[in-house]
Amino acid sequence: MVFNSDIFLFAFLPIVFVLFWTMRSKQSRYVIMTVAGYVFYGYWNWHFCFLLLFSSLVSFTAGNLMTRVRSGRAKRTIVALTVGTDLTLLGFFKYYDFLVRSVSSLLPGVHLPLLDIVLPIGISFYTFHTISYVIDVSAGRVRATRNLFEYLTYVSLFSQLVAGPIVRFRQIEEDLEHLDGPPREDWVARGIAFFVIGLIKKVMIADHIASDINPMLQHVGSMTVIEAWVAALGYTCQLYFDFSGYSDMAVGLGLLFGLRIPQNFNSPYWALGITDFWRRWHISLSSWLRDYLYFPLGGNRCGTAMMFRNLMIVMLLGGLWHGANWTFVVWGGYHGLLLVLDRIGTPFYTKLPRHVYQLQTFLLVVVGWVLFRSSTFGMALQWLRHMFVGPVGSLATVTHAAAWTAVALVIAATMPEAWEMRFGTSRRWAVLWGVLFVTTYFFMNGKESVFLYYQF
């Protein structure tokens, strides 16, 4: 089920909303949210609900076990076993076939069976949820919950189950504890605003651009320089509006149910340097990688060389997290390298005029998205080559795509994130969001499209 579908907007959401606010007790609301999460997830493939449940039960049990043991060694063992289980599941479902193909191409004599495994959507996200919970409990950053349904609500929260943001238990623990509170007018108003803004980003901008550039990318080999740039910039906008739109909708849905989901985007294309970019793009992932991978590796406390090594490891693994393809790994490595260069060159970069530094960062990110979008290295190299070499071509052949991309770029460069906007709770605001919602529906009616990050 996707947020921009009739079944979600006109059946699932209203039913869950009414049931949730009709129930008074915290426990019944946990149960409603858990059931809703599993229905939402199972609508795609109910078999994988068992995997989600298993992963949740393992980490829930681990959390409770850790409250009973005192020795640090025992805790570490529990963490290792739980994280090992989670990563084994993730590794098997997401990376097994990828590994087999890679081994076969490297060692032609080795024949491992391909299993053609269907990737359970959202597994990358909920695995990170459960891992962060177990590590936080072991580190004493969060108290393990004894309420199974509270924990299941956290892991299976439909607003962020399949494509994030990657919410840590401690970030919504307080709201979960007060889930039996009455609805707050300002949260509901803000929730509707966030949801509608996210819907507009997805339907009216991201999907519109996608319909133009996807056909172009089927003929990467014959693109002109202008077409290659329009496609690259178009995808840059599509990805941002698609994913930040999804994140806004997730935040909005959370608020409708009394849960404050943290910010995931902060105008990333305004970033000053790659380090700054990663503080603004997919914030929940980059901060997760920082806290649960970069810091444990030593972070920047063990000297410059180790810091660079750590950055590279984190970004390579971050790239691999996005998908079982070497293009993602290389994309991660590319960003790791840019982070290293950013650290080295900071004294120089900070002397650059602000807009020049921003533009340089943006262009480096655009080049990275070419790798990210390409299904093969061949495609990426061809696309990159056509961006700089070959016939220049004419804008006339891609007028529509170029115009929409330009509009999207202007919006991305000038409009603040929903987080920075102030929304009122008056009737006028309600009417405004009503008008915008119906208008947006005109553009999505009959055209259900999934979010790009569902595939990760």
- 282 flagged as catalytic: no
Alpha carbons 53 and 57: distance in angstroms, whole number: 6
Residues in contact with other proteins, counted by CB under 8 A, come to a total of: 21
Pick the binder of other proteins from 24, 72, 185, 414 (CB under 8 A).
Answer: 185
Q: Which is nearer to other proteins, 80 or 421 (CB)?
A: 421
Min dist CB 207 to other proteins, Å, is: 13
Site pattern 59..78 for other proteins (x: CB under 8 A) = --------------------
Min dist CB 447 to other proteins, Å, is: 9
Q: Which is nearer to other proteins, 134 or 188 (CB)?
A: 188
Site membership for other proteins, residue 393 (CB under 8 A): no
Alpha carbons 320 and 277: distance in angstroms, whole number: 19
Q: Which is nearer to other proteins, 118 or 435 (CB)?
A: 435
Min dist CB 10 to other proteins, Å, is: 10
Chain positions 187 to 246 lying near other proteins, rule: CB under 8 A, are: 188-189, 192
Pick the catalytic residue from 208, 282, 322, 386.
322
Alpha carbons 271 and 286: distance in angstroms, whole number: 15
Q: Which is nearer to other proteins, 353 or 446 (CB)?
A: 446
Site membership for other proteins, residue 183 (CB under 8 A): yes
Q: Which is nearer to other proteins, 295 or 429 (CB)?
A: 429
Question: Is the CB of residue 24 less than 8 Å from the CB of residue 180?
Answer: yes
DSSP letters along 202-246, please?
Answer: IIIIIHHHHHHHHHHGGGGGG--HHHHHHHHHHHHHHHHHHHHHH
The tokens for 442 are 């005109």
Min dist CB 158 to other proteins, Å, is: 19
Alpha carbons 243 and 249: distance in angstroms, whole number: 10
Q: Which is nearer to other proteins, 195 or 328 (CB)?
A: 195
Site membership for other proteins, residue 90 (CB under 8 A): no
Site pattern 415..454 for other proteins (x: CB under 8 A) = ----------x-x-xxx-xxx-xx--xxx-xx--------
Site pattern 257..296 for other proteins (x: CB under 8 A) = ----------------------------------------
CA 42, 47, 49, 51 dihedral sign is negative
Alpha carbons 433 and 279: distance in angstroms, whole number: 30
Question: How far from chain centre, in Å, is Cα 174?
Answer: 23
Q: What is the amino acid identity at position 261?
A: I
Question: Is the CB of residue 203 less than 8 Å from the CB of residue 4?
Answer: yes
Alpha carbons 247 and 165: distance in angstroms, whole number: 6
Place of tokens 């941002």: 240
Min dist CB 19 to other proteins, Å, is: 15
Question: Is the CB of residue 98 less than 8 Å from the CB of residue 115?
Answer: no
The tokens for 130 are 């459960």
Q: Which of 265, 268, 256 is nearest to 284 (CA)?
A: 265
**Residues in touch with other proteins (CB under 8 A):** 21, 183, 185, 188-189, 192, 425, 427, 429-431, 433-435, 437-438, 441-443, 445-446
Residues annotated as catalytic (active site), given as ranges: 322
